[in-house]
Amino acid sequence: ILNVEQSPQSLHVQEGDSTNFTCSFPSSNFYALHWYRWETAKSPEALFVMTLNGDEKKKGRISATLNTKEGYSYLYIKGSQPEDSATYLCAFKLGYKLSFGAGTTVTVRA
Amino acid sequence: NAGVTQTPKFQVLKTGQSMTLQCAQDMNHNSMYWYRQDPGMGLRLIYYSASEGTTDKGEVPNGYNVSRLNKREFSLRLESAAPSQTSVYFCASSEPTENTEAFFGQGTRLTVV
């Protein structure tokens, strides 16, 4: 079983504040690290796919960094908005296998 | 463009009944996956198929079987349903290369009573 861990499990953010949370994964045999956004009653949708140590990806106010040597990735949300409320999942890809963490549920309060 | 289609969307089974969840993708992807989603546990991998004709166990395979019928279709079978299999099931597909994302179906909500 691939150990993909996310913390915290949930967090509440005031609208306009910035936040970040962590995904940790096995640092050996790295292949790829994915981030997905999952809104209630919908299906997960990909935010980022990261493959290289030091990768930084950005989409609007959301960005992610990757450290494959120490086995962690951060997701940042800048200036949180209510529409950012969702569960954010990271997934570790090893060969053909794609294993997910339990997610961080973000609630943005207006 | 349908993407990944799962049927049915909802199902209620009695303990001991069997059923097959269907999944089809039209993106010509080689890899397909079945996950279950339970509160506080994210997505747990049940089985995956790297390519047509191959299947492998994921993290929680007990009580399930799969069939990769062809490149498009990947089905999940519960032979004798148990209340512990009450969950939301998601099918996904992707290319097996490292820099490609997975695409998900809309989910099947299964209740075993």
Q: pLDDT, tens digit, for every residue of B13-61?
A: 999 999 999 999 999 999 999 999 998 888 999 999 999 999 999 999 9
Beta-sheet strands, E only, within B3-86: 4-7, 10-13, 19-25, 31-37, 43-49, 56-57, 64-68, 74-78
- Please answer whether residues B59 and B45 qualify as being in contact, where contact means their C-beta atoms are separated by less than 8 angstroms: yes
Surface-to-core class of residue B1, CB atoms within 10 Å of its CB (0-12 exposed, 13-18 middle, 19+ buried): exposed
CB contact under 8 A, B40 and A9: yes
Amino acid identity, residue A99?
S
Q: Is the pLDDT of residue A1 over 90?
A: no
For A6-55, write each residue's pLDDT tens digit: 999 999 999 999 999 999 998 888 889 999 999 988 999 999 999 999 99
| CA-based nearest distance A99→chain B, Å | 6
* Nearest chain B CA: its distance from A88 CA (Å): 10
pLDDT band at B1 (very low <50, low <70, confident <90, very high): low
* Helical (H) or strand (E) element with A7: strand A5-7
Mean pLDDT score of chain A: 94
- Nearest residue, CB atoms, B98 vs list A31, A44, A103: A31
Contacts of B5 in chain A (CB under 8 A): none
- Count CB pairs under 8 A between chains A and B: 66
Q: Report DSSP state, residue B41.
A: S
pLDDT of residue B31: 95
Nearest chain B CA: its distance from A60 CA (Å): 19
B96–A34 C-beta distance less than 8 A: no
**What is the model's pLDDT at position A2?**
63
As given in the structure block, the two tokens for residue A68 are 């494959």
Of B107, B91, B109, which Cα lies nearest the Cα of B32?
B91
Angstrom distance (rounded) from CA A105 to CA B90: 19
- Across the range B83-92, mean pLDDT stands at 97
